[in-house]
Amino acid sequence: MNPLYSELHWLPRAPQDFSARLKALASTPAPLGSELQALALHALDVNQLTRLAKAMGRARAEGKSLDPLSPFRLAILSNSTVDMIVPALEGSAARHGIALETIQPPYDQVAQEALIPNSMVNSSKPDAVLFAFDYRSLPLKLTLGDEEAAAAVVDGAIGYLQALRNGIKTGCNAVCIFQTFAAPAEPLFGSLDRALPGTLRSLIDRINLRLAEFVLASGDVLLDVAGIAETVGLAAWHNPQLWNMAKFSFSDELIPLYADHVARTVAALRGKSRKVLVLDLDNTVWGGVIGDDGLDGIQIAQGDARGEAHLAVQRLALDLRQRGIVIAVSSKNTDEVAREPFEKHPEMLLKLHHIAVFQANWNDKATNIKAIAEELNLGLDSLVFLDDNPVERGLVRQLLPQVAVPELPEEPAFYARTLAAAGYFEAPAFASEDLKRAGFYQDNAKRLNLQKQVGGVDAYLASLDMTITFQPFDATGRARIVQLINKSNQYNLTTRRYTDPEVVEAENDPSVFTLQVRLADIFGDNGMISVVICRPGEPQTWEIDTWLMSCRVLGRKVEHMILRELLEHARAAGIRKLVGTYKPTDRNKLVVDHYAKLGFTKILEEASGLTRWELLTDAEGPEAAPMKVVSLFAPAVEGSLV
């Protein structure tokens, strides 16, 4: 068993006082979320995870708040014993900022629970359903060498899963999380199993492939258990003794790993995946110390074992950047010395233009990392910090607990693998915007510079030559809309999270007004940057259910233009009043004055800080900002906007 995976080596070991801190929770004043997460951010074994879950359960029973953990309700359908897994899931979810509540129907009631509309699972209205099946749940029969019969078996298995999915979609419309199937470790023929149609191996290969295609097309979520099992090895994954004794579908030693994978998937659905990789330089990005060893002395060349280890880190960073992860640098160095390898070393894969923020100075790393977050306009909980030096890691963990800081092994050859194993950048879906995102943040840094040069804000905005495009929700924009709804924390008035099916519902409901906003400028296309949903409130009133914006376009008066557009559509629909709500979270202080700045009148202020605002639609609205407006709304159909 490779301990990197079975013992979660990217996490620090559990502290000596783990039990004492758990006990202290009983007398700790609520909210308990931060301390629970701090405890969960260690490599906990099943017993420790179970104790953590029990402590959470006790806190819940006493009515104590688990803020700032985000609540999530997960139903688990399984053909195996999950009783030992469920507490581990709850404990692991806290690690990822989720207060997980699980719904666990009786053993082996899968079909009933999925298909009967008022079953325990369907009537509990979970946020998501995890189909925690292994291959023994499928109607698989060997059809050796018979291509046609094998295809029928695969169709049957996929059809079964689809039927269960349809049951859940009809019954409670939860997000469905499907697991791929880990093939058993025992061959029948041997190598031929992979090639011959109708062997267990071949059937499971095909089912996994079909399932992956199906999930990609349906907008459901995939948990690649087959991939996890491959990574640790099928013989380590399956434990026949435990299956026989207690119907455990995989080894108990891998429960913490599995639970962490489920937790990262759920956290990703809640928009909690990390967005930025902050790299240390000396002995992380290259071998050696540039300030001491000089350009010729650092190890970064192909063919040099040590150098190749660090090149692997660079390659991973570049690949992550390609899928939209922002790369930044934090190094204790003199700026020009730190930049030298990027500019002059021929073997460096990372170049300066890949780095969104480059912080090389002699400040402590916590200060630098804070500056990076501020410059990128992202929360500290969006950041991952990779550093070979345990002292720096400890400092950042202590001062900035929101930043993810993986432990690294002694051997640099395993740095890249360890970072990848931690799964900080888990994504349930991939939108084409992701491809460009790293570039957006960099362009933004350029824009800030330009702002400094131009001086006046209005002149600066005019110089950007912006085009803003308004559209109702549609199928093309949906993936990005769902992503924004679930990821935006700072410029988000109500922080309401909606799943893909809920967004489709809003899209199709003629009484709901939806708006997706795109912005292009001199530097390129920013893609979709804002989402608004208005629902009918009191007569002739629109309740602004959701108003969020990407922080990339802060200070561009985009919100002014959105309000102007909103007012226009509201008037056309015979609406007299807009009512907006600001619901405070620990992340959205940025928009506390959003409605005040837009000329709304405050009508309510609760002790919690929640405020309500209204604006009559005959108001003129804010002055137009210097940008071209494109409105792509179909002409109002009778009964839709009127």
Residue 45 C-beta: closest distance to another protein, Å: 8
Question: Is residue 84 near another protein by the rule CB under 8 A?
Answer: yes
Q: Is 241 in the site for another protein (CB under 8 A)?
A: yes
Asked whether position 244 contacts another protein by CB under 8 A, the answer is yes
Burial 468-492 (b: 16+ CB within 10 A, else e): bbbbbbeeebbbbbbbbbbbbbbbb
CA distances from 415 to 256, 387, 418, 602 (A): 21, 10, 5, 53
Q: What are phi and psi of 51, to 5 degrees?
A: -65, -40
Site string for another protein, 120-159 (x = CB under 8 A): ----------------------------------------
CB of 559 to another protein, least distance (A): 50
Task: Give the C-alpha separation, 474 to 467, whole Å.
Answer: 20
- Candidate ranges 80-88, 179-187, 544-552, 593-601; the one touching another protein (CB under 8 A): 80-88
Nearer to another protein, 51 or 497 (CB): 51
Residue 530 bridge partners (DSSP)? 517, 549
Q: Is 51 in the site for another protein (CB under 8 A)?
A: yes
- For the record, the structure tokens of 434 come out as 């992701």
What is the DSSP code (8-state) at residue 43? B
**Residue closer to another protein, measured from CB, 78 or 359:** 78
Q: Which is nearer to another protein, 51 or 397 (CB)?
A: 51
Please provide the distance, in angstroms rounded to a whole number, between the alpha carbons at the two ends of the chain.
64
Examine residue 359 and tell whether it contacts another protein (CB under 8 A).
Answer: no
DSSP 3-state helix, strand, coil percentages of the chain (rounded to 5)? Answer: 45, 20, 35
Are the beta carbons of 386 and 313 closer than 8 angstroms?
yes
| Cβ contacts of 301 within 8 Å, gap of 6 or more | 307, 347
State both tokens at 581.
């709500």
Question: 73 near 125, Cβ under 8 Å?
Answer: yes
Phi first, then psi: give them for residue 140, nearest 5 degrees: -100, 125
Query: Is 242 or 419 the residue whose CB approaches another protein more closely?
Result: 242
Q: Which is nearer to another protein, 84 or 192 (CB)?
A: 84
Closer of 241 and 302 to another protein (Cβ): 241
Find the binder of another protein among 67, 252, 407, 614 (CB under 8 A). 252
Please identify, among the stretches 239-247, 469-477, 572-580, 625-633, the one whose residues bind another protein according to the rule CB under 8 A: 239-247
> Does the protein bind another protein through residue 83 (CB under 8 A)?
yes
Total residues interacting with another protein, rule: CB under 8 A: 17
Q: Per CB under 8 A, does 81 bind another protein?
A: yes
Q: In the complex, what is the shortest distance from the CB of residue 18 to another protein, in angstroms, rounded to a whole number?
A: 10
Per-residue b or e along 613-635, where b marks 16 or more CB atoms closer than 10 Å to that residue's CB? bbbebeeebbeebebeeeeeeee
Smallest distance, another protein to C-beta of residue 253, A: 8
Q: Is 245 in the site for another protein (CB under 8 A)?
A: yes
Closest separation in Å from C-beta 9 to another protein = 17
Residue 328 β-bridge partners:
278, 357
**Segment near another protein (CB under 8 A); pick from 34-42, 244-252, 418-426, 428-436:** 244-252
Q: Scan residues 26-45 and list those touching another protein (CB under 8 A).
A: none
Among 246, 305, 572, 632, binds another protein (CB under 8 A): 246
Q: How far is the CB of 47 from another protein (least distance, A)?
A: 5
Q: Which residue shows structure tokens 């920013």?
A: 526
54 is a site residue for another protein (CB under 8 A): yes
Q: Which residues pair with residue 404 across a beta bridge?
A: 384
Sheet containing 466-471: give its strands across. 601-605, 611-616, 577-582, 541-549, 524-536, 513-521, 466-471, 627-631
Minimum CB separation from another protein for residue 423, in Å?
24
- DSSP element (H, E) containing 40: helix 33-40
CB of 245 to another protein, least distance (A): 6
Give strand ranges (E) for 411-493.
466-471
Residue 46 interacts with another protein (CB under 8 A): yes or no: yes
Least Å distance, CB 60 to another protein, is 16
**In the bound complex, what is the minimum distance in angstroms from residue 78's beta carbon to another protein?**
14
Choice between 49 and 438, CB closer to another protein: 49
Considering only the stretches 242-250, 300-308, 483-491, 634-642, report the one whose residues sit in contact with another protein under the rule CB under 8 A. Answer: 242-250
Contact between 48 and another protein by CB under 8 A: the answer reads yes
- Would you say 54 or 587 has its CB closer to another protein? 54
Structure tokens at 327: 């790369």
Which residue, 19 or 540, is less far from another protein as judged by CB?
Answer: 19
Q: How many CB atoms lie within 10 A of CB 83?
A: 11
The strand order across the sheet containing 276-279 reads 355-361, 326-332, 276-279, 383-386
User: Does the protein bind another protein through residue 47 (CB under 8 A)?
Assistant: yes
The residues of the shown chain that bind another protein, judged by CB under 8 A, are: 19, 46-48, 50-51, 54, 81, 83-84, 241-242, 244-246, 252-253
